[in-house]
């Protein structure tokens, strides 16, 4: 079974929380973009991990350890179950699961992090205004490299924020992120949202 087939068997969050903007990252998208970065033998932080797909891919492609962080305890439990399922058929690196608000993560407690991976809340609702920037700045504080996805509508602002924090964008690509009808306020079946993936490193 190849990695994509394994990822398609992952457990999803059954009752996603709209206030947390929980959306499942499609395996094809996550695998495509994480493969652009050499994660072999790296220590990874998956910020707002959800069901764990980004961190799990990092392990599948050779990361030696992943810290999975999520404020939602139920999501973290699913991520851990997914890890255990994958690890039963593959020799994955280590995984540590932390039920924590990402704003409370201190670099002094995680000095070994090499790369942060994240698909943060887009931060476009009144409840989560600019929450994606909070995630982005935490990734910048925790590591010298990161991979992150943001709405293309905020691309210029995100680019400026990255540069202001002393990081250099080494790769970016626009793509369509498909979001199925997930919450009661959704009126359409599937919506394709324009998203930009950024890979950046400290200058």
pTM here is: 0.88
Residue among 2, 96, 114 at smallest CA distance from 52: 96
Query: Given a cut of 50, is residue 182 above it in pLDDT?
Result: no
If you count DSSP H runs as helices and E runs as strands, how many of each does the chain have, helices first?
A: 6, 7
pLDDT at 17 over 70: no
Q: Which domains does the chain have, with CATH numbers?
A: 27-202 (3.40.50.150)
pLDDT digits (tens, 9 = 90+) for 47-106: 999 999 999 999 999 999 999 999 999 999 999 999 999 998 778 999 999 999 999 999
Mean pLDDT (the chain) is 87
pLDDT at 22 > cutoff 90: no
**Is the model's pLDDT at 187 over the cut of 60?**
no
User: What was the pLDDT predicted at 19?
Assistant: 60
């Amino acid at each position: 079974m190849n990695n994509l087939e394994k990822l398609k068997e992952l457990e999803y969050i059954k009752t996603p929380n709209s206030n947390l903007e929980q959306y499942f990252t499609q395996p094809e998208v996550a695998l495509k973009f994480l493969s652009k970065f050499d994660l072999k033998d790296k220590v990874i932080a998956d910020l707002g991990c959800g069901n764990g797909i980004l961190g799990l891919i990092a392990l599948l492609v050779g990361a030696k350890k992943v810290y999975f962080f999520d404020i939602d305890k139920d999501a973290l439990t699913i991520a851990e179950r997914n890890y255990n399922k994958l690890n039963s058929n593959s020799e994955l690196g280590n995984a540590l699961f932390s039920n924590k608000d990402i704003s409370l993560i201190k670099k002094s407690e995680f000095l070994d992090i090499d790369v942060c991976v994240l698909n943060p809340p887009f931060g476009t609702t009144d409840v989560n205004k600019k929450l994606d920037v909070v995630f982005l700045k935490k990734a910048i504080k925790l590591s010298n490299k990161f991979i992150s996805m943001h709405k293309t509508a905020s691309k210029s602002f995100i680019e400026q924020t990255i540069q202001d924090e002393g990081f250099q964008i080494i790769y970016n690509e626009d793509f369509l992120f498909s979001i199925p009808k997930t919450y009661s306020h959704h009126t359409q079946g599937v919506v394709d949202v324009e998203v930009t993936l950024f890979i950046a490193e400290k200058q």
